[in-house]
Chains A and B, each alone.
Chain A
Amino acid sequence: MNRAQVTQRTTRHLHHFQRTPLQAWRDAIREASTLQRTRDEVKPGTFKRIMGYLMRYPWYMFWTLVVLIIDAGIIALGAALIQNVVDDYIMPLLKQSHPDFAPLARFLTILAGLYIISVITAWIRPILLVKIEQGTLKNIRDDMYAHMQKLPVAYFDTHEQGDVMSRYTNDTDALRQAISQAFPQILFDAISLVCTFVAMLWVSLPLTLLTVVLTALIMWLDIYLVRFSGRFFVKQQKDLGRVNGFVDEAVNGQKVIKVFTHEDATQRQFDEVNDALFRSSSMANIFGNLSGPVVNSLGLLTYTIVAVAGAGAALAGWGNLTLHGSMAMTLGTIIAFISLCREFINPMGEVAQQVTQVMLAMAGASRIFGLLDEPVEQDSGTVTLANVREDAHGVPKKADHRTEEWAWDVPSGIAVGPWADGPYPAGDGTTHSLVPLRGDIRLNHVNFSYVPGRQILHDISIYAKPGQKVALVGSTGAGKTTITNLINRFYDIDSGTITYDGIDIRDIAKPDLRRSLGIVLQDVSLFTGTVMDNIRYGRLDATDQECVAAAKLANADSFIRMLPDGYNTILSGNGDDLSQGQRQLISIARAAVADPPVMILDEATSSIDTRTEQIVQKGMDALMRNHTVFVIAHRLSTVRNSDAIMVIEHGRIIERGTHDQLIAQKGEYYQLYTGAFELE
């Protein structure tokens, strides 16, 4: 659902609560039935998966169960004992002329002992539970994040960031109370329920049957309520995600909002998503909260019915059937049974009160599992990078330590293009072969479309030999960036082939492929941390000296030294503290420290002034010697010294050649260069 639709829907319901309660109620019902159609429901299997997470702490779960049973036992025993204090201990005192309080004192000491155990378990229980609860939340967060890292780029291109973020906080948080409060409470109540149930069977089978039938009716009604509220809880979490997304977008664009004095309009839009959240949240809680009073009251009604029916049966002299045989229904039996009946109904009311928390947790978990179920990026590549040592003739031999020399470790059966250096036998007893890492990239008749039927690239062929600089020139939207997205397999091609050192890139494991490619993008993403951390991001084991050298190469060293703490200056994630150009320089340094054999520079210097760019260029050229480089740039000065220039229009290569060749050709490039015609 896009925002326009949301807006429509929300405006339709905008005055929801200014209507009469009846109208509001009708709206709510209508909305709920719509929800049913849009499948805003807790995913089946959610509870099982939550349990799966909890069971990662089997011992803690076990001991929690033990503690709960002890607790339930002591509470029941204590209650039973204290009932007897009058008959067994106080009444006898009255008959004594010199009352001996010692038996009472002994009894109370025993009781105190029991209670001390209960106090201890009350103290242990949360400690066990915190471990399970927080451990589970941590596991869920970690799993989500690890899973998210494996998702294809397409996922990030199509999902709202703030909504994804909401899963780490709001949705995970929704589970917290359920695990620490609701689940144990329900378990506790279930234990008492089972005990009472057995006791009830002992006293009277027919009455138990009556109780069970009546409570089943209550449960049936309650489940309906719970399902109903569950839908709203799912919607609440969705709406919360939308608020999260909206705030994320608004805060990130806050400066634009201010510049355009768009505060009021933004506030109105916010109010729309906020009101939607209010509606789903109040509906969810209304129906969730109703569960408690409904079950309590109907429980009381059940109790009354059982009492009346039991008393009637006893007076009519009906027989009774119990676990230990049949006998007459006596008044004593009835009194015993109805007090058990009360013990049976109370926990049901308590369980019902936990409904909101449980449904909230289920709604949050549904969304979390939704993210965890997103299909991950497929990688069937088997070719990996290996450390090698090359002999005097350039023949690689596998090495078991860091050598700074690399080769593709190619399993047998994978074709290697005849133009490649190698393959050489691996020489380690396997059928693998080695292809030295050189940086030869070839695109052969590549066709590509993001959406089937809408072809973006047509029959693209580019050969970049090791050490060559290939420029992609063309107007905005011609498909230059798309080409680079294909080389590192952010997206996969429709037809044709792309090879790296003669190996089809689909045969290369993605991490290894990407490690052998460096990319500098126009929109620079830096991470919270020091400048040094950000440069070192390129190669985690780079020394400080290497990072500084890379910064010097990118001409970033001088401005970094001017920062308050130099290389130790903390950059905030959005990097508002630096200019766009400075951010680009850091990102170039980051790529330089990684120093892969193939570099892709996508408008990497667009925000840098031309003089600085020239200096950067010189540094880069030094760095790029023996490196294959793809350059995308608007400034033709950046691409002039390329070994090959590809002019791309509407997803096709329309001209190719060196600068001189293209000038001589007097085609598109010539016109671009001489200014007779400009890039659109």
Chain B
Amino acid sequence: MGRLSSQRTSEDEALEKTAQQAGAPGSAPKRRAKNGTFERQGLTPGQRLLEQRQEAEFKRDLGSAKDIKYLLPSMREYKFDSYITMIFMVLEAIADLLIPTFIADLIDQGVSKGNMAEVWRWGGILALCALFALVFGGIANVFGARASAGFARNLRHDTFAAVQKFSFANIDHFSTGSIITRTTTDITNVQNAYQGVLIIASRAPIMMVVAWILSFRLSHSISMAFLIALPILLVALIIIAAAAHPSFVRVFHVYDRLNSTVDEDLNGIRVVKSFTREDYQVRGFKRISQRIYDLFAHAEYILATNNPVANMCMFAIQIAICWMAAQQIVASGNNPANGLTTGGLTSLLSYAGVLLSAVFMLSFVFVLVIISRASVSRIAAVLQEKNTMEFKPEGEAITTVPDGSVDFDHVTFRYDEEGTGDDVLSDITLHIPSGSTVGIIGVTGSAKTSLVQLIPRLYDASQGSVRVGGHDVRDYDLKALRTQVAMVLQKNTLFEGTIAENLRWGDPNATDEQVRRAAQLAQADEFVQRMPDKYDTHIEQGGTNVSGGQKQRLTIARALLRKPKILILDDSTSAVDTKTDALIRGAFATEIPNTTKIIIAQRLSSVEDADQIYILRDGKILAHGTNDELLKNSPEYRAIYETQNQTSEKQEVLRATGATTTNAETANAKEEK
């Protein structure tokens, strides 16, 4: 009887407790002690590695305050909107500053004197002010919204474009979750902060300057109190900002992980449900959401000191004004000719009020800016990411691929550029003539995929050179090269859209007829015809509504539409039965005879007709030759052949059941038992 995991073991509960303890800001997630060989305390080597990788990413994303300069070029056409916003915001600020004096006039000249004419006059002026404030404020807000939304749009465009230019190695530097956060959440943060800066921050300085000038006219010494308080406030805010910044960078890192976790859960929901790991997933998720809670709360606590500091400064100024003004008024005898008067004090206090509200506005924007600074650096990291590949300048790059020959010249390859990793391919030398068919076989993990990925220059060889059509792949214009080298990846992806749209990836201008032809060659037409909307059938994201075998055939059709000089199939028919597989290969031979075909396969039947078969093991070529040569010379090949062709037994069956010889021959040719 099989063992089953109990619903909740005591260990699960222990795990949960650990999860609750873990996640204090900055602390590494604790790992439960295992009853096995791993360290009971602290981190396992793998966990440590993950921590190290995250730490490196964190350091990169810390960036510097200057990172904003990488984002500013994305402003483009919205610079105009930004200027308009600032100009009208200044006008609105002026209207705002005038309003209190008009109100004072309304009361002093009109209401308190009981003068109805004055009441109407100042009332009219105030109504006009209201109108101006509405128009100026309205214009500023409309343009401000557009400028920031537009800036965000351009930033998203540029960030996505930068990702599109990434090489495979670059892609590996950023997790899926992190690229998603960077293009959405981070840019939204920048948009909010930019809007805040435009609308609020552009009027606050004006208000501060005007208020200070007015107070300077009333009393030099008291206006100096403002000048002393403001720098103190400024320094305090900068210190707070610097302290909070790393926390926010960490917060967004955890956001990336949150994204990845949800992504994995969505992808693997069938696994989660069939192992009934819902609770386990929830516990894992809670650990991350707890960490976001801790980090965010920590960062916000730091930011929270901003309010009391600002309040304290402003209150200190008020009290200082009162005290100093009292001395000065007494000294002047409340005579305007001799100095400050009580009326002056009232004005000073209201200027202090203006200053106070300006500081509050700024500190509101300040929070937005601090949060977005982390986002700015993270976006800048994408925009700045140096392409790991070097390209020939336009003009020098070769734009036509002469033929479909492929040469590997002492090629060594490793994924890890720093060279700490092991060689994945070592010293591979091979020549594939144009138009030939080559089979590559080898056990799982023997670097078959790594080998063919070098041909369309998905990665660069670490040593040696890969040549296509006689030229080093690095000398080609990348687009020209990849147009001629079509590759059907092992992990093939279909995109949301119709079947026809997906196939037209191969050739956007293909006619319906050509699309259908390619599908026929890939043996996909038949099942497509049976679908409700045929070629207009909608494919769900990730191609969840077609089976594995159907997906493979569609991806082959997509590659065929390219009409490439070199076609690479990376184990692309594993879910297709042998007969279909044979039909596809037959179509290759008759329809694209001049295309070089490189086929990675598990089944020997897929490669046995090839002009040359390479057997890979541990990143080296173990043997090569035709089917017959290898059968003769390679014990490995023979062993594989025998496991796949239990010929004798099959013939026995046939004999026993009285099958014809023709049948027996056909059966011989097939490997499927």
Q: Contacts of B292 on A, CB cut-off 8 Å?
A: 134, 137-138, 141
Contact assessment for B114 and A265 in the assembled complex, using a CB-CB cutoff below 8 Å: no
Report how far A597 CA is from B327 CA in the complex, Å: 93
A581 at the interface (CB under 8 A from B): yes
Q: Contacts of B250 on A, CB cut-off 8 Å?
A: none
Report how far A259 CA is from B570 CA in the complex, Å: 13
As a 0/1 sequence over residues 251 to 267 of chain B, the CB contacts with chain A under 8 angstroms (1 = contact) are: 00001001111111111
A610 at the interface (CB under 8 A from B): yes
Number of chain A interface residues as a range: 35 or more
Q: Is the interface of B mostly helix, strand, loop or mixed?
A: helix
Contact partner of A664 (CB less than 8 A), chosen from B280, B458, B657, B672, is: B657
As a 0/1 sequence over residues 121 to 150 of chain A, the CB contacts with chain B under 8 angstroms (1 = contact) are: 011011100110111011001100110111
Report how far A516 CA is from B6 CA in the complex, Å: 11
A:318-344 near B, CB below 8 Å: 331, 334-335, 338, 342
Count B interface residues, CB 8 Å: 211
Those 3 A-B pairs whose CB atoms lie nearest each other, nearest first:
A678-B579, A544-B36, A525-B268
Contact partner of B505 (CB less than 8 A), chosen from A181, A250, A260, is: A260
Which of A31-39, A196-204, A631-639 forms part of the interface with chain B? A631-639
Q: Which residue of B lies closest to A89 (CB)?
A: B326
Contact assessment for B111 and A335 in the assembled complex, using a CB-CB cutoff below 8 Å: yes
25 pairs, CB–CB < 8 Å, chain A vs chain B? A108-B322, A126-B301, A138-B292, A153-B270, A170-B185, A177-B192, A251-B163, A251-B176, A289-B141, A289-B195, A300-B126, A304-B106, A315-B114, A338-B111, A525-B270, A528-B260, A541-B11, A544-B35, A567-B46, A578-B445, A585-B444, A609-B444, A635-B672, A677-B579, A680-B577
A397 at the interface (CB under 8 A from B): no
A64 at the interface (CB under 8 A from B): no
A:87-138 near B, CB below 8 Å: 89-91, 93-94, 99, 101, 104-105, 108, 111-112, 115, 118-120, 122-123, 125-127, 130-131, 133-135, 137-138
Report how far A199 CA is from B272 CA in the complex, Å: 62
Q: Is the interface of A mostly helix, strand, loop or mixed?
A: helix
Contact assessment for A150 and B444 in the assembled complex, using a CB-CB cutoff below 8 Å: no
B144 at the interface (CB under 8 A from A): yes
Q: Contacts of B37 on A, CB cut-off 8 Å?
A: 544
A570 at the interface (CB under 8 A from B): yes
Contact assessment for B3 and A539 in the assembled complex, using a CB-CB cutoff below 8 Å: yes
Q: Contacts of A542 on B, CB cut-off 8 Å?
A: 5
Report how far A120 CA is from B123 CA in the complex, Å: 41
Beyond A156-B269, A244-B180, A614-B643, 20 additional pairs, beta carbon < 8 A? A108-B319, A111-B319, A118-B315, A122-B308, A134-B300, A274-B160, A278-B153, A289-B144, A294-B138, A476-B550, A543-B34, A543-B35, A568-B38, A568-B47, A574-B176, A606-B548, A609-B442, A635-B672, A637-B673, A675-B578
Contact assessment for B293 and A674 in the assembled complex, using a CB-CB cutoff below 8 Å: no
Given A169-B259, A674-B654, answer yes or no on A259-B293 (Cβ-Cβ < 8 Å): no
B199 at the interface (CB under 8 A from A): yes
Contact assessment for B153 and A564 in the assembled complex, using a CB-CB cutoff below 8 Å: no
Report how far A516 CA is from B4 CA in the complex, Å: 7
B333 at the interface (CB under 8 A from A): yes
Report how far A637 CA is from B134 CA in the complex, Å: 80
Which of B215-223, B484-492, B591-599 forms part of the interface with chain A? B484-492
Report how far A297 CA is from B123 CA in the complex, Å: 13
Contact assessment for A568 and B1 in the assembled complex, using a CB-CB cutoff below 8 Å: no
A559 at the interface (CB under 8 A from B): yes
Q: Contacts of A382 on B, CB cut-off 8 Å?
A: none
Min distance, Cβ A361 to any Cβ of chain B, angstroms: 13
A651 at the interface (CB under 8 A from B): no
Report how far A612 CA is from B639 CA in the complex, Å: 12
Contact partner of B276 (CB less than 8 A), chosen from A120, A158, A281, A511, is: A511
Which of B393-401, B461-469, B539-547, B620-628 forms part of the interface with chain A? B539-547
Min distance, Cβ B307 to any Cβ of chain A, angstroms: 4
Min distance, Cβ B35 to any Cβ of chain A, angstroms: 5
Q: Contacts of A250 on B, CB cut-off 8 Å?
A: 160, 163
Min distance, Cβ A173 to any Cβ of chain B, angstroms: 6
Contact assessment for B138 and A293 in the assembled complex, using a CB-CB cutoff below 8 Å: yes
A365 at the interface (CB under 8 A from B): no
Min distance, Cβ A548 to any Cβ of chain B, angstroms: 9
B290 at the interface (CB under 8 A from A): yes
Given A108-B319, A149-B272, A315-B114, answer yes or no on A260-B137 (Cβ-Cβ < 8 Å): no
Which of B226-234, B236-244, B663-671 forms part of the interface with chain A? B663-671
B130 at the interface (CB under 8 A from A): yes
Contact partner of A523 (CB less than 8 A), chosen from B46, B286, B548, B669, is: B548
Which residue among B271, B330, B487 has the maximum number of chain A CB atoms within 10 Å of its CB?
B271
Contact assessment for B444 and A312 in the assembled complex, using a CB-CB cutoff below 8 Å: no
Q: Contacts of A678 on B, CB cut-off 8 Å?
A: 577-580, 582
Min distance, Cβ B269 to any Cβ of chain A, angstroms: 5
Report how far A133 CA is from B171 CA in the complex, Å: 35
Contact assessment for A122 and B271 in the assembled complex, using a CB-CB cutoff below 8 Å: no
Q: Which residue of B lies closest to A105 (CB)?
A: B323
Min distance, Cβ A431 to any Cβ of chain B, angstroms: 23
Q: What is the count of residue pairs linking A and B with beta-carbon distances less than 8 angstroms? A: 586
Report how far A168 CA is from B307 CA in the complex, Å: 29
Contact assessment for A307 and B106 in the assembled complex, using a CB-CB cutoff below 8 Å: yes
Report how far A148 CA is from B152 CA in the complex, Å: 31
Report how far A140 CA is from B611 CA in the complex, Å: 61
Contact assessment for A515 and B547 in the assembled complex, using a CB-CB cutoff below 8 Å: no
B:504-561 near A, CB below 8 Å: 505-506, 508, 526-527, 538, 540-542, 544-545, 547-550, 558
Given A112-B315, A256-B492, answer yes or no on A181-B364 (Cβ-Cβ < 8 Å): yes
Report how far A532 CA is from B478 CA in the complex, Å: 40
Contact partner of B1 (CB less than 8 A), chosen from A99, A293, A405, A517, is: A405
B188 at the interface (CB under 8 A from A): yes
As a 0/1 sequence over residues 442 to 482 of chain B, the CB contacts with chain A under 8 angstroms (1 = contact) are: 11110001000000101000000000000000000011001
A48 at the interface (CB under 8 A from B): no
B383 at the interface (CB under 8 A from A): no
Report how far A333 CA is from B558 CA in the complex, Å: 83
Which of B59-67, B205-213, B341-349, B427-435 forms part of the interface with chain A? B341-349
Which of B68-76, B402-410, B493-501 forms part of the interface with chain A? B493-501
Contact assessment for B130 and A606 in the assembled complex, using a CB-CB cutoff below 8 Å: no
B392 at the interface (CB under 8 A from A): no
B146 at the interface (CB under 8 A from A): yes
A596 at the interface (CB under 8 A from B): yes
Contact assessment for A248 and B263 in the assembled complex, using a CB-CB cutoff below 8 Å: yes
Q: Contacts of B127 on A, CB cut-off 8 Å?
A: 300-301, 304
Contact assessment for B157 and A270 in the assembled complex, using a CB-CB cutoff below 8 Å: yes
Q: Contacts of B20 on A, CB cut-off 8 Å?
A: none
Contact assessment for A3 and B496 in the assembled complex, using a CB-CB cutoff below 8 Å: yes
Which of A53-61, A159-167, A412-420 forms part of the interface with chain B? A159-167
Report how far A148 CA is from B443 CA in the complex, Å: 39
Q: Contacts of B153 on A, CB cut-off 8 Å?
A: 274-275, 277-278
Min distance, Cβ B245 to any Cβ of chain A, angstroms: 17
Min distance, Cβ B103 to any Cβ of chain A, angstroms: 7
Given A289-B145, A634-B577, A680-B580, answer yes or no on A342-B103 (Cβ-Cβ < 8 Å): yes
Report how far A525 CA is from B263 CA in the complex, Å: 11
Q: Contacts of B669 on A, CB cut-off 8 Å?
A: 675
A247 at the interface (CB under 8 A from B): yes
Report how far A17 CA is from B304 CA in the complex, Å: 40
As a 0/1 sequence over residues 280 to 308 of chain A, the CB contacts with chain B under 8 angstroms (1 = contact) are: 01101110111011101110110111011
Contact assessment for B663 and A608 in the assembled complex, using a CB-CB cutoff below 8 Å: no
Q: Contacts of A475 on B, CB cut-off 8 Å?
A: 577
Min distance, Cβ A61 to any Cβ of chain B, angstroms: 17
Min distance, Cβ B97 to any Cβ of chain A, angstroms: 13
B12 at the interface (CB under 8 A from A): yes
Given A255-B489, A543-B36, answer yes or no on A166-B184 (Cβ-Cβ < 8 Å): yes
A404 at the interface (CB under 8 A from B): yes
Report how far A338 CA is from B103 CA in the complex, Å: 10
Q: Contacts of B653 on A, CB cut-off 8 Å?
A: 663, 673-674
Contact assessment for B304 and A123 in the assembled complex, using a CB-CB cutoff below 8 Å: yes
Min distance, Cβ B359 to any Cβ of chain A, angstroms: 13
